[in-house]
Amino acid sequence: MHLLLTMALLAAPVPATPDVTTPVPVPQSSYAVYDRLTRTITGRDVHRPIRSASLVKILIAIEQLETRGDDPRIEPMLRVSDDYSASELWVENGWDQVVVRTAGRLGLRDTKPPQARGKWGYTAVSAYDVVKTYRYLLERAQPKVRHTIMGHLHRAEKCASDGFDQSFGLPSATWWPAFKQGWSGFGDPVKPCVDRPRPRVQWELDTVSPAMHTSGTCGLSVVAVLTLHPEGTTWDQAAKRVTRLTEEVTKYRC
């Protein structure tokens, strides 16, 4: 009996073991840090194209200020990342030509307009070009343009107009930065940062990899950290990753 049982067990199919070699999806990141004192730039994959999400709002503000003058919608667009203001200014300034013109004036070689001109969040940027945009504001832009944009970014608020908490990255990892954040692909906030967030513009939602970016200035540095995360990543998970990476790249700098 014991012999028959033993033979039966040996003949039984062995359960498949999990494939431990299967790669686990990991976040992808590129970043650039420009030291205004030594005038040097360091980073990783600095020219890698990535969709801008709300970082393109800086280019929208530059185009508006340099060609049409100040506008009250620039403040909410930059301080609370308001999508409605951005969409209106995008259309009024020529849709995708906003990117074509500003990229040409600023010398942004990696920055390309979105294939669908209505989706400004799909503008292609790179960490290098984001840093170069801040350098333009700090070094070459007219004082009115510089003071307006950097002033709003210094007073950017914790809660975005769509209800997300935009204090990840630079505002959590550094002291008193001027910052502009970007995000896409997270749906609606699970725990809104404001009581009644404005609804998101539906066509702006990303259906592929969630994106989360932080950019701005701190101390004598200009910083851009751009990230893509595996589908299913939560806001809190992405925010912690971005903040942790920002702490690493700004260590001893800000």
Task: Reply yes or no on whether the pLDDT at 2 is more than 90.
Answer: no
Which ranges of the chain would DSSP assign to H, the alpha helix? 2-11, 57-67, 74-79, 83-92, 97-106, 127-139, 143-154, 170-173, 235-249
7 within domain boundaries: no
Across the chain, what does the average pLDDT equal?
88
Digit-coded pLDDT (tens) for 129-148: 999 999 999 999 999 999 99
Region 94-106 average pLDDT? 98
Digit-coded pLDDT (tens) for 137-193: 999 999 999 999 999 999 999 999 999 999 999 999 999 999 999 999 999 999 999
14 within domain boundaries: no
67 within domain boundaries: yes
176 within domain boundaries: yes
69 within domain boundaries: yes
Domain count for the chain: 1
Q: What would the two tokens of residue 3 be?
A: 């012999």
Instruction: For residue 137, give its domain range.
Output: 26-249
Task: Reply yes or no on whether the pLDDT at 199 is more than 60.
Answer: no
pLDDT computed for residue 209 by the predictor: 84
Task: Reply yes or no on whether the pLDDT at 29 is more than 50.
Answer: yes
Percent of the chain with pLDDT over 70: 85
2 within domain boundaries: no
- Residue 22: pLDDT band (50, 70, 90) is low
Q: Point out the least confidently predicted range of 2-11, 112-121, 157-166, 229-238.
A: 2-11
The CATH number linked to 103 is 3.40.710.10
Percent of the chain with pLDDT over 90: 81
In this prediction the pTM is: 0.79
- Residue 24: pLDDT band (50, 70, 90) is low
1 within domain boundaries: no
Number of neighbours of residue 41 by Cβ within 10 angstroms: 16
What letter represents residue 16's amino acid?
Answer: A
87 within domain boundaries: yes
User: Of the candidates 110, 116, 109, which has an alpha carbon nearest to the alpha carbon of residue 90?
Assistant: 116
Q: State how far the Cα of 242 lies from the Cα of 223, in Å rounded to an integer.
A: 13
pLDDT computed for residue 23 by the predictor: 66
Task: Spell out the residues 6+ positions from residue 22 whose beta carbon is closer than 8 angstroms to its own.
Answer: none
